[in-house]
Structure 1
């Protein structure tokens, strides 16, 4: 049969046919399930089921659409609510102790009444002096000096405390104890110095004093050259002749002999903690203590009678008077120490007259020699390194002999004998045919004129000159009476200068100067390798990339010079924190091999260390340059060594207040700009002469050199305009050019590095109390705070004679040339901090 018939059969199932003979035998079934299980009932679709299946998928689709719309509405509502909540939610704030410390420091230093676009230095540092009053021991005070003082305090506490360590660490403690034992020093008196004088072939007091009244000057002989040699090898001190071993400017992998005017005039630690500065030249030539870059401990004396008469003298005569009185008193102390009262045939008045005549004679010869030394101390870096001739020792002798004879004096062999005498304590044998000596033109002139002067000077006067030069640097490290003599005269010479440094800090500084690596071992943290050093490496890498990018943008460099610059940047080495070997077992003992220290012999301790260093330096002459550290890890400074294409960042520079400031913006604004400063030194007005290997070569094209020189005039003019009202003087833009370029380049590199760093790592949290400031503003705030300080009129005078600009200008000058600064602080065009003209090189 057909159920729901249609064309061609049942549209809902197959046709079922029964045969005619089929007989139904099925018993009654109760329900449809039974029928289906029995196989007799075939399912037939109904119209209702068909309708239900046809529209079921549409209903599900509609329901899904409704659900999606509902979810979309919920998402929109949640997004709106989130945005509204975020707008009113406080920003993420850094609450670490480092951030809190940095925030407090900045807030206390700032003078927010100042307009940052008018005087940013006042805005950042206006109240710094209130929160950091200048100690009496310093004429100026800033973050660098503050940190160095704290370093010496830490060193002092360590050296005076208990604890064990390698032998050199214990020797450093013993050396500190000997320095602090003033009671023993007073008991020993001047005997330690007199003992040293004997080894130098010098008498206990100058022969010129003539305390017996029957001395025959015409028959007196004195081998000044032999004594000068002994002074060099036993004290490391240059007198009349300057000698050192430097890396070859044209081949930094080897050492060369260098001669000229005296370089190391005081090998002992200074009793005044003056701040060290960069030494861009071979070295500052030092003479009598009028050189502001290195205070001399030889200017200290007081005598009421003579000071009363000095008040009526001119400043020049007053200074000369102070010197002469000091030297007279110093000589008299040695005469008395040697038993002068018992052996002299003179009355006390006659003795004093002879002593003052002696001091006057010294002043005369010293002034003549100082003038010779000063003639080549004003050379610029380019003049010093642009042409350094080399000579054989015979060529030098021939030249100086000609000058001596032209001055109607008798020439004598000097230079070969001097070098043989110095190297006699070493394992090195000189080859005078092949070991040529580097002597600049100015130094050669000094050597010739000095030879002529010495040839015409009586031996007894030469002895007097050498005696006082040696005595004034040793005697200050003896008795309380001598130290008081030095300090009183120092105060008379500089009435507005600082109070004396506490003995404990002076001794800590002395130990640090002579055994800096042992001190560094004691304060070095092993975690530095895994925590701080990787961060500094990352920062340096970013800084170099930033400089490379800036170089790529400049138009004044040709492509070949740019390529050479990239190569130099890539090969620039860095010494970070402290030497890698410092904490290795046995390495410190090897470094200080030969050093002996005794708790009862302070002067001998220093002399022994100096002698060990001299001998090691001489023995290295035939070896290759190992590009070692230029400073101790405890020095608060950073250096670029041109001849090694290396920057050095000591351990204490990687601490607060220069690093570890809580936020990257603050770290890059402070330490980052310091690193950038040193990197830029490799490409400033002086460093450009040294290539990627530290060799002095003309690796810039001529067109690039000319373009660079033309661009530097902008900096010269800009810094020349800086006026110091306290002194009624201007800054010397030419003298400070190299450092100013480094400041400007360092700032631009650090800012570019920070932006790239934040792009990679995401935005940083806000600084508490400075939530309204951006990371860019905090960067510039940190840079300005780096140069906060307080200065006296006298210290400003010293700063004007230095190759660095005054602190305030270092904060202001580079920022005036930064368009990024003007944008960050929204400074109007033409305002003091957003001038119409900017100076930019990199």
Structure 2
């Protein structure tokens, strides 16, 4: 649905005194000043019948012609006057519209959005705001200050993931006779097949080269081999994920950061005591059927290895990623501790769908992935690292294999049941994807119009970025044309292929997965994984089979080389996106998230890749100099730069800049500038304030790595934010010097 029609579908309350003045009709006196046709006819009759056939004289003919010409001239004069008056009225109308759109007066009508979506957003955000905090001092603490309750998860993204899992669980329970439901049931009731599940789990780990603690790891596979196999074929690698994308019609390997279960972070923040850890370890040994002497490693050493692997993951998981790409052969130089040629050999050995050569391209989401792998290989022996990977694999999956959530999670009984349900659903979605929630998907996006709504929103944002580029004073015309070309050619992935929404085609696509009814968990897990491996080269793999509500890469991902932006379908849900809410909510939520990815076409890496995917600087030298200066502008981050890469202009600050300008353009286009839009339960905030509140709420997080910078850094560099919240000069959120990309 287009934004211009969206307003009419919202439920608003408008003050009763708001009226429309109608145009008045001419008075009777003005009408009576003209002779009527009847009176003119009467005068003609009094001239007598004898005049009817009299031939006019030459003087009369001349007078008649003169009278006719005068009449024509009079009509022309009147027409000109009327045209001038009409043009004057149009000009006055345009000036009035411009005045109302640009003036800062309080003449706008107050209009409150009362739709269910607006009300729901208002309730959620009002519960998060801490009114004791000054928004001009610390906006993140103001917006997210009431996030202490456990139900809110670690972040807004975490909250959205839980909501998506709950919706999937409801569909499973409502439709118990599906492959997804049978897979879920085998996980949830795994304890009923404990012995067989444990036997199959031991065989599975042996095939992966993760034989510890049952067997010695002397002569084990190299850790890189183990990780490549886990990442490519099983989606179970801890440190990184691997997939394949197409760049210029060639398969390209993609190495991404993946994600991590919250328990690993909790173990770092709240570690077990040595005594507690010893008990925890002993219980796992007992379930596996081994004793401590078989493990051949001291508990303290095992703790040390585990902590280093987990910290290596966290170190790049929440950091600002530095994307790069290499040939497979060049991976050797990026990880000098790895034996030469091992990356290529591992790919050739474990990938049965694609043929990789030393010249094949590998895109790495963050170079720290390779750096940290190399650091671990330098610090630990091959055997120690394999033990560490085995132990992390056991902790991640053993509880599910035996149906004992208490084995992994430190929580109350009710919380353990909830975690078991959530994690079992995660196993199902990791392999069956959206097939686990077909009713939810078809209800929300079954109609082409509802899918087009998301694409249309992205298109409008993309077009407005082009307008901003066009108005950029420091960029030359040739550089602008390349910017337009990159933005025009950007591929934006949000929805699965239309075939998913046609039941017959959907069932045919997923018929390749085995029947899972009545089978144990490990049989279903391995069987579905093997089918998924074979599908990696299927034409519908990228736009159907691999599509997830929330992929492992997170809520969004932009790849420079193929110039593609992917947003999670889960992003099209509250609180980022509502079908029946105001533009401020849409652009503040989904708009800022999409904006951060779109502007990467113009960041320090983006300006080194042209529209054809060829590496090389395309900015002209004068523009490149200004670009470098603006990209390196001090955005006043508070991040500990000794541990984390600080936020920079791109994508955070520029992403907010384009989202806000796109929001204002949409408001102007829809004539909503004439109204003061408010949200139910948040009536005290203006439309512009709601935009910034929504943005900050979308990045709320309890994690300490950024100290709220994801919210605070972009807004403190926005003049519009300071104006919206009336922040005094030199307030923490209104520094005297701000960074802007598109302005001079």
Task: Report the TM-score when normalising by structure 1.
Answer: 0.61
- 1:116 offset after TM fit, Å? 4.2
Structure 1 position 414, deviation (Å): 6.2
Distance 1:628 1:688 in 2: 32
Q: CA deviation at 1:752?
A: 1.7
Tell me: CA distance 1:606–1:689, structure 2 relative to 1, closer, same or farther (3 Å).
Answer: farther
Shift of residue 543 of structure 1? 1.6
Please report how far the alpha carbon of residue 564 of structure 1 lies from its aligned counterpart in structure 2 after TM superposition.
Answer: 0.9
Contact kept in structure 2, 1:669 and 1:783, CA below 8 Å: yes
Greater shift, 445-454 or 741-750, is seen at: 445-454
Q: Is the 8 A contact 1:389 1:438 kept in 2?
A: yes
What RMSD in Å do the two structures reach over aligned CA positions?
A: 5.2
Alignment match, 1:735? 645
Identify unmatched segments of 5+ residues in structure 2. Answer: 1-45, 51-105
What does the per-residue CA deviation read over 1:115-152, in whole Å, with 9 as the maximum and x for residues that have no partner?
544444455445x448xx323xx762x43322221211
Whole-Å separation in 2 of the counterparts to 1:451 and 1:824: 52
Give the Cα–Cα distance (whole angstroms) in 1 for the partners of residues 557 and 356 of structure 2. 34
1:37-48 correspondence runs (5 A) = none
CA distance in 2, matches of 1:668, 1:195: 51
Q: Tell me by how many angstroms 1:675 deviates.
A: 2.0
Map of 2:738 onto structure 1: 838
1:283 aligns with 2:256: yes
Aligned to 2:350: 422
Map of 2:117 onto structure 1: 98
Deviations 1:768-787 (A, max 9, x none): 56667543333334334434
- Which of residues 648, 669, 676 in structure 2 aligns to 1:760? 669
**Counterpart-to-counterpart distance in 2, 1:668 and 1:694:** 29
Which residue is 2:175 aligned to? 162
Counterpart residue number, 1:145: 158
Q: The residue matched to 1:574 in structure 2 has which SS?
A: strand
Residue 49 of structure 1: aligned partner? none
CA distance in 1, matches of 2:118, 2:210: 60
Paired position in structure 2 for 1:782: 694
> Counterpart of 1:511 in 2: which secondary structure?
helix
> Which residues in structure 2 correspond to 1:136-535 (within 5 Å)?
140=154, 142-162=155-175, 170-186=178-194, 188=196, 190-197=198-205, 199=207, 206-208=214-216, 228=226, 235=234, 246-247=244-245, 251-256=247-252, 282-284=255-257, 294-295=260-261, 330-336=284-290, 352=292, 354-355=293-294, 357-359=296-298, 363=302, 385=324, 388-391=326-329, 418-423=346-351, 425-426=352-353, 430=355, 468=391, 471-480=394-403, 483-487=405-409, 502-525=419-442, 528=445, 529-535=447-453
8 Å Cα contact 1:388-1:438 kept in structure 2? yes
Q: 1:253, 1:624 within 8 Å by CA — same for their partners in 2?
A: no
Contact in 1 for aligned 2:599/2:654 (Cα 8 Å): yes
Deviation at 1:175, TM superposition (A): 0.8
Between stretches 220-229 and 758-767, larger displacement belongs to 220-229
Question: SS state of the match for residue 554, structure 1?
Answer: coil
Post-superposition offset of 1:503:
1.6
Aligned partners of 1:462, 1:510: CA distance in 2, in Å? 26
The residue number in structure 1 matching 2:10 is: none
State the match for 1:559 in structure 2.
477
Listed as ranges, the matches of 1:535-684 within 5 Å are 535-592=453-510, 594-596=512-514, 597-617=516-536, 619=537, 631-634=547-550, 637-660=555-578, 662-684=581-603
Query: For 1:151 and 1:315, how far apart are their aligned partners in 2?
Result: 27
Deviation string 1:477-527 (CA, Å, 9 cap, x unpaired) is 22255x434335xx9xxx9xx988522222222222222220242311356
Residues in 2 aligned to 1:457 and 1:102: alpha-carbon distance in whole angstroms: 51
Where 1:255 maps in the other structure, the secondary structure is strand
| CA deviation string 1:312-337 (max 9, x = no partner) | xx99998888777755654454345x
Alpha-carbon spacing, 1:383–1:363, altered in 2? closer, same or farther (3 Å): same
Deviation at 1:417, TM superposition (A): 6.0
1: CA distance, partners of 2:618 / 2:467: 20
**How many residue pairs are counted as aligned between the two chains?**
627
**Once the two structures are superposed, what CA deviation does each residue of 1:342-390 show, in whole Å capped at 9, x if it has no partner?**
xxxxxxxxx64x24634569849968996998999799989762x7245
Q: Take 2:388 and 2:144, find their aligned partners in 1: how far apart are those partners?
A: 48
Counterparts in 2 of 1:472 and 1:564: CA distance versus 1, 3 Å: same
Shift of 1:586: 3.9
Q: Residues of 2 paired with 1:643 and 1:208: CA distance?
A: 43
- Greater CA radius of gyration, 1 or 2? 1
| Structure 1: segments with no counterpart, 5+ residues | 1-11, 17-86, 165-169, 210-219, 259-281, 286-292, 302-313, 337-350, 405-410, 723-729
Contact 2:593 2:655 in 1 (8 A): yes
Question: 2:251 is paired with a residue of what secondary structure?
Answer: strand
Q: Deviations over 1:738-759 (max 9, x none)?
A: 5x63232232222222222222
Residue 31 of structure 1 corresponds to none
What CA distance in whole angstroms lies between the structure 1 residues aligned with 2:377 and 2:108? 81
Q: Paired residue for 1:83?
A: none
Distance change >3 Å, CA 645–CA 741, structure 1 → 2: same
